[in-house]
Chain A
Amino acid sequence: MSEGTALSTRGLIAGYERDLPIVRGIDFDAKPGELVVVLGPNGAGKSTFVKAIAGTVPVFAGRVALGNDNVTQLPAHDKIRRGLAFVPQTENIFATLTILENLELAADILPRHLRRQRIASVEAMFPDLARRPALRAGQLSGGQRQMLAVARALIVDPKVLILDEPSAGLSPRIVGEVFSSLARINQSGVTIILVEQNVKAALAVAHRGVVLVEGQLRHEGPAATLAHDPIIAELYLGVAPALPA
């Protein structure tokens, strides 16, 4: 693996059934501080790809490295301890816990003396959440839930933050808020990997994009050029890509 990657995969094969893998051999790198967006048509395996990295979908072959450490087979609860945080697309907060309890839960894996301080610093980033710590998270709106999910992931001060379609189901105005806060988090030094259907908004904040098709990485490039690449239009119109299979 190359020097100075925050997260990389080599020959990653993953899915729900061994004889029917959904991710079929992906080599991927994210440099420290980078914001990479993972694009691709429906069913391309984007979501399974990031879940396999996070440890909620079985990896059948290949490896996942966080910095220089091989974390492929670590259980999910150990990956977050190593600084790899994942925000699932749905059910990404604990609805029966209060806002503060959601944050405390995430802080419980930190050394005792850091907990208050990390919660306070995350609350500073999301003042909306700080205002009502005792509210049950289940009562939050869609956008607020997404914010809480991101806040929960940031408590441990992760090196890499992975998000699975954070804009799904949100109104355009809220989507803008989510992406601008992601950009801020990224500027503070956190490497972000983002799965998105919302191509325009995602490429607007990302440094780089990769395109998955049928479980394989088929295309990549700087976000600025990718935004005008005809292949993107083709993929999202559902036309089969004009690439050699």
Chain B
Amino acid sequence: MIAQALMDGLIAGTMIGLGAIGITLTYSILRFANFAHGELISWGAYAALGVSGALATAYAPLAAPIGPFSFGWSLPIGLVASMVLTGLLALLVDVLLFGRLRARKSAVIILVMAGFGAALTLRSLLEFLFTSKPAYFTDALQIAMKLAPGVRATPDQLLSLGVSALLVFAVHLLLTRTAIGRAMRAVSENQQLAALAGVDVRQTIRIVWLLGAALAAVAGVMAGLLVQIRPHMGHDLLLPLFAAAILGGIGSVPGAMLGGLIVGLAEALSVQVIGAEWRAAVAFVILVAVLLLRPRGLFGSAA
């Protein structure tokens, strides 16, 4: 029982971690908590659903399952397309809303509120387009493989774990080893000085949106693949995402992933103890504990 709960928590945790990386990046560089990030996750899932559905209809072999997995090549292609589309959506919202408020030097909290309005709009727009009925990438049922005594996981779940691990590593390298990563960290610390050092701040902000949204799209596709696709899926993830990002320390990519794993595991284990109906409260308890004990999080710099 416990071993299986740990496995489930690990899988849910990587998903939360991916979303939290997006949150932590936009938070530390754009300097506000983006309540619309959950909606990027949902839109990412629906965009992948749309593209992979269209591909499968246009060319049936693309829908044929790859090896042990439940989906065909249409889904990975759909995922890549969705990363681009979700990135463009984030840029669009930035151009229409956040960018204008930034240019006006609005207070942080105005940006938070704008994100809140954007979240409402985007979420209900999805509900309008697709209704609140759940959707699925595939109808294929998967048999879970026995990994160890009492521990089972489906090939889809294991693949998600692997892809997440790879992405976290890639984003970490991007931030610490490349020019664009240095530029992002510089903008995160001091925008004006970054500009004086030759960093194009607006360009950097665009890249942060693209990156954060692309990661959100991956998280959305994973959530859709492992659970289901609903217009509220991202909104329901928002509290765990914020808890994970703050627990890890705002701005820290490994912190966000670790925070995600802790939140995921805590949820899975507490479901065993207090029942599934309280799952959503677990992230809140963690959030309160972090704010009480160590507001800057595990790896955050003292602000």
Within 8 Å by CB of B198, from A54, A77, A95, A101, lies A77
Query: Known: A101-B182, A108-B179. Contact between A94 and B198, CB under 8 A?
Result: no
B195 to chain A: which residues have CB within 8 Å?
Answer: 55-56, 75-77
Per-residue CB proximity of A83-112 to B under 8 Å, as 1/0? 001101001111111000100111011000
Query: Known: A104-B182, A108-B183. Contact between A91 and B190, CB under 8 A?
Result: yes
In the bound complex, CA of A76 to CA of B183 (Å): 15
Most buried by A among B194, B197, B200: B197
Min C-beta distance of B299 to chain A, whole Å? 12
In the bound complex, CA of A76 to CA of B186 (Å): 15
Query: Known: A97-B185, A108-B179. Contact between A81 and B198, CB under 8 A?
Result: yes
**B200 in contact with A94 (CB, 8 Å):** no
Count, chain A residues at interface, CB 8 A: 26
Cβ of B219 under 8 Å from chain A: no
Query: Known: A96-B301, A101-B182. Contact between A109 and B189, CB under 8 A?
Result: no
Within 8 Å by CB of A54, from B182, B183, B186, B196, lies B196
**B193 in contact with A108 (CB, 8 Å):** no
Which chain B residues in 132-184 approach chain A with CB under 8 Å?
179, 182-183
Cβ of B199 under 8 Å from chain A: yes
Cβ of A46 under 8 Å from chain B: no
Query: Known: A56-B192, A91-B193, A94-B193. Contact between A109 and B185, CB under 8 A?
Result: no
Within 8 Å by CB of A106, from B190, B198, B301, lies B198
In the bound complex, CA of A80 to CA of B200 (Å): 11
Cβ of A152 under 8 Å from chain B: yes
Which chain B residues in 191-212 approach chain A with CB under 8 Å?
192-201
A96 to chain B: which residues have CB within 8 Å?
Answer: 185, 188-189, 301
In the bound complex, CA of A97 to CA of B188 (Å): 11
**A106 in contact with B189 (CB, 8 Å):** no
**A88 in contact with B196 (CB, 8 Å):** yes
Query: Known: A105-B182, A105-B183. Contact between A88 and B198, CB under 8 A?
Result: no
A119 to chain B: which residues have CB within 8 Å?
Answer: none
**A108 in contact with B196 (CB, 8 Å):** no
Min C-beta distance of A64 to chain B, whole Å? 15
**A77 in contact with B190 (CB, 8 Å):** no
In the bound complex, CA of A88 to CA of B183 (Å): 19
A71 to chain B: which residues have CB within 8 Å?
Answer: none
A108 to chain B: which residues have CB within 8 Å?
Answer: 179, 182-183, 198-199
In the bound complex, CA of A67 to CA of B133 (Å): 66
Within 8 Å by CB of A94, from B179, B185, B201, lies B185
B198 to chain A: which residues have CB within 8 Å?
Answer: 77, 80-81, 106, 108-109, 156
Residue of B nearest to A56 (CB): B192
In the bound complex, CA of A162 to CA of B196 (Å): 11
Besides the known contacts A77-B196, A80-B196, 19 further A-B residue pairs in the complex with CB atoms under 8 A apart: A54-B196, A56-B192, A56-B196, A76-B196, A77-B195, A80-B197, A85-B196, A86-B196, A88-B193, A94-B185, A94-B189, A94-B193, A96-B189, A97-B182, A97-B186, A105-B186, A105-B199, A108-B183, A152-B197
Interface residues of A (CB under 8 A from B): 54-56, 75-77, 80-81, 85-86, 88, 91-97, 101, 104-106, 108-109, 152, 156
25 contacts between A and B (CB under 8 A): A56-B195, A56-B196, A76-B192, A77-B195, A77-B196, A77-B197, A77-B201, A80-B196, A80-B198, A81-B198, A86-B196, A88-B196, A91-B193, A94-B186, A95-B189, A96-B189, A97-B189, A101-B182, A101-B185, A104-B179, A104-B182, A105-B199, A106-B197, A108-B183, A152-B197
